[in-house]
Amino acid sequence: MSTLKKGDDVVSKKIFSTKHKMMYEHAWDWRKREDERNLGEGDALWRTGLAYITWKDPEMKEGIIGCFRKVKKNHHFKKEFYQPMRATGRWGEDDVSRDQVTMAFAALKVNGDQEELTELASKTPWRLSRRMKMTPDMWLWVKALYSKNSKLYANLFCLLNLSYLWIGFLTNKLIGKVLGLKTIPAKDYTSAYHYDKRTYWTKFQVMLAGALYPAYAFHLTSWQVYTLPLSNKSPLKWLFCKMMLTACEKENYLCRLLLGDHNITQEEVDSVESREGFRWQMRYDGSWPSYHNQQSQEWKDKYLKHNQLDKDCLITMYNKIKNKK
């Protein structure tokens, strides 16, 4: 059963604003800033992309498309293009990141909105904002989403990632040994697990921790791989997925599904409980102080009752991939 409940006044950690067409998230008290809405606008497009995949609500699609402002050809620009933003209302146009655009395009691809995807992806420039540009692999992935030579770009995307990403995974293993990282069950994890380790790290170890390939990037790459116009039996995609899966934690059921691992059971999906953050873009090895399982059960019952993005997203993709629904 879906936990989606739309409305700006819903009592929930995450809310879908029917006014702005965005999936927002109330900021924690320690992150709130004066004279701001404190609704997580910086990640709103990313979050709305995930929400659209999860619940396929037309208003969410409207919000995603509304985050791309058309700039017409004029004496300043040789051709028209779309300027992405972090949230509707031109919020965050100057520093919109690859994360936001990636989830927006992935959501349109997953839900079969090819016409809208082609229009936006073909006219979104290499420089996403004043601060951010596409990386070469992201550019290849975007081209694979709409180009006539989509399979060529998709294979080049896999080849490029295969050429260097293994270094990041190997580095993570080596650094993990130096830092004493060890994965524990999700139900036992809190940010204290990280801080208890960090207390005893030397300055050199703290520096090493900053060099880890981040879990949020792994999550985004998993969506990119899933949306490629290649079958899972395609040699380069198959090899890329196998490499990714070697670095994927057992309880990251969503990324495992996206990477072609169909060994997840219905019992495992049913056992997942919604948590404060988006659990599929974190690790349980103590490498980062992810905010997870921190609040009391009373708080969870009140603020995680609706809009359980993490669990509902897993259910949607499990049914789509495993049960073919």
251 pLDDT above the threshold of 90? yes
* Phi, psi of 288, rounded to the nearest 5 degrees: -145, 145
Helices (H), the chain: 44-55, 58-66, 98-110, 114-121, 136-146, 150-179, 191-198, 203-209, 215-226, 235-246, 253-258, 266-271, 297-303, 309-321
Q: What is the pTM of this model?
A: 0.96
Cβ-based neighbours of 203, under 8 Å, separated by 6 or more: none
The mean per-residue pLDDT over the stretch 246-262 comes to 97
pLDDT value for 290: 84
207 pLDDT above the threshold of 80? yes
258 pLDDT above the threshold of 90? yes
> In this structure, are residues 100 and 40 in contact, taking their beta carbons and an 8 Å threshold?
no
pLDDT value for 173: 96
Q: Where are the domains of the chain?
A: 1-134, 156-294
Name the packing angle between helices 58-66 and 98-110 (round to 10°): 140
| Chain-centroid distance, C-alpha 136 | 19
Q: How confident is the model at residue 46 (pLDDT cuts 50, 70, 90)?
A: very high
Q: How confident is the model at residue 2 (pLDDT cuts 50, 70, 90)?
A: very high
pLDDT value for 294: 87
69 pLDDT above the threshold of 80? yes
Alpha carbons 128 and 101: distance in angstroms, whole number: 8
pLDDT value for 32: 83
Q: Tell me which DSSP letter residue 19 carries.
A: T
> In this structure, are residues 28 and 291 in contact, taking their beta carbons and an 8 Å threshold?
yes
What average pLDDT does the structure give for the chain? 95
Q: How confident is the model at residue 64 (pLDDT cuts 50, 70, 90)?
A: very high
44 by Cβ neighbours in 10 Å (0-12 / 13-18 / 19+) ranks as buried
pLDDT value for 148: 95
> In this structure, are residues 105 and 145 in contact, taking their beta carbons and an 8 Å threshold?
yes
Q: How confident is the model at residue 105 (pLDDT cuts 50, 70, 90)?
A: very high
Alpha carbons 85 and 104: distance in angstroms, whole number: 11
Residue range 111-161, pLDDT digits in tens: 999 999 999 999 999 999 999 999 999 999 999 999 999 999 999 999 999
202 pLDDT above the threshold of 90? yes
> In this structure, are residues 256 and 223 in contact, taking their beta carbons and an 8 Å threshold?
no
Helices (H) and strands (E) in the chain — how many of each? 14, 4
The mean per-residue pLDDT over the stretch 302-308 comes to 96
* Phi, psi of 71, rounded to the nearest 5 degrees: -110, 115
pLDDT value for 272: 96
pLDDT value for 325: 63
pLDDT value for 266: 96
324 pLDDT above the threshold of 90? no
Alpha carbons 232 and 235: distance in angstroms, whole number: 8
Residue range 4-26, pLDDT digits in tens: 999 999 999 999 999 999 999 99
Angle at 224 (CA atoms; ends 221, 225), nearest 5 degrees: 90
73 pLDDT above the threshold of 90? no
Percent of the chain having pLDDT more than 90? 90
Residue range 169-189, pLDDT digits in tens: 999 999 999 999 999 999 999
> In this structure, are residues 295 and 276 in contact, taking their beta carbons and an 8 Å threshold?
yes
In this structure, the number of other CB atoms found within 10 A of the CB of residue 136 comes to: 12
Name the packing angle between helices 150-179 and 235-246 (round to 10°): 20
